[in-house]
Structure 1
Amino acid sequence: MSTKLFDRIKRFFRALNIKIDQQDIDIVNKNLEDKHKKLFYSMSLIDQRHSIDVAKTLINSDLDITKKTLQLALLHDIGKQVKPFFLLERVVVVIFPRRNLKLSADPLESNLLKKAWQLKYWHPEYGARLAEKASFDIELINMIRFHHNTPPKCQEIEDFQWSDNLN
Structure 2
Amino acid sequence: MPGRLSRKLSQLPGKLRRLSRSVHEAQAQPDDQWAGAHLSPAERRLYLGMDARDREHACRVALALLSAHPDAAPTLLAAALLHDCGKSVRPYRVHERVLVGLVPFRLSRLLPFGALYVRAAHPALGAALVRRGGGRERVAQLVGRHHAPRGDHEAALLHAFDDLE
Q: After the TM superposition, which residues 71-150 of structure 1 pair with which residues of structure 2 at under 5 Å, given as runs?
A: 71-97=78-104, 98-99=107-108, 101=110, 103=112, 114-150=113-149
Deviation at 1:29, TM superposition (A): 2.5
- Return the alpha-carbon distance in structure 1 between the equivalents of residues 16 and 157 of structure 2: 25
Matched, 1:8 2:15: yes
- Return the alpha-carbon distance in structure 2 between the equivalents of residues 93 and 12 of structure 1: 10
Equivalent residue number for residue 69 of structure 1? 76
- Return the alpha-carbon distance in structure 1 between the equivalents of residues 158 and 80 of structure 2: 6
SS in 2 for 1:5: helix
TM-score by length of 2: 0.81
Equivalent residue number for residue 36 of structure 2? 29
Counterpart of 2:153 in structure 1: which amino acid?
Q
Equivalent residue number for residue 53 of structure 1? 60
Q: Which structure has the larger Rg?
A: 1
- Return the alpha-carbon distance in structure 2 between the equivalents of residues 71 and 28 of structure 1: 8
Deviation at 1:120, TM superposition (A): 0.5
Residues 1:13 and 1:93: Cα distance change in structure 2 (over 3 Å): closer
- Matched positions, count: 152
Equivalent residue number for residue 163 of structure 1? 161
Deviation at 1:4, TM superposition (A): 3.5
Equivalent residue number for residue 18 of structure 1? 28
- Return the alpha-carbon distance in structure 1 between the equivalents of residues 79 and 87 of structure 2: 14
Where is the helix percentage greater, Structure 1 or Structure 2?
2
Moved more, 30-39 or 93-102: 93-102
- The Cα offsets for residues 63-98 of structure 1, whole Å up to 9 and x where unpaired, read as 641111101100111110111123321221232443
- Return the alpha-carbon distance in structure 2 between the equivalents of residues 102 and 38 of structure 1: 31
Equivalent residue number for residue 111 of structure 1? none
Residues 1:63 and 1:161: Cα distance change in structure 2 (over 3 Å): farther
CA RMSD in angstroms comes to 2.0
Q: Structure 2: any 5+ residue segments left out of the alignment?
A: 1-8
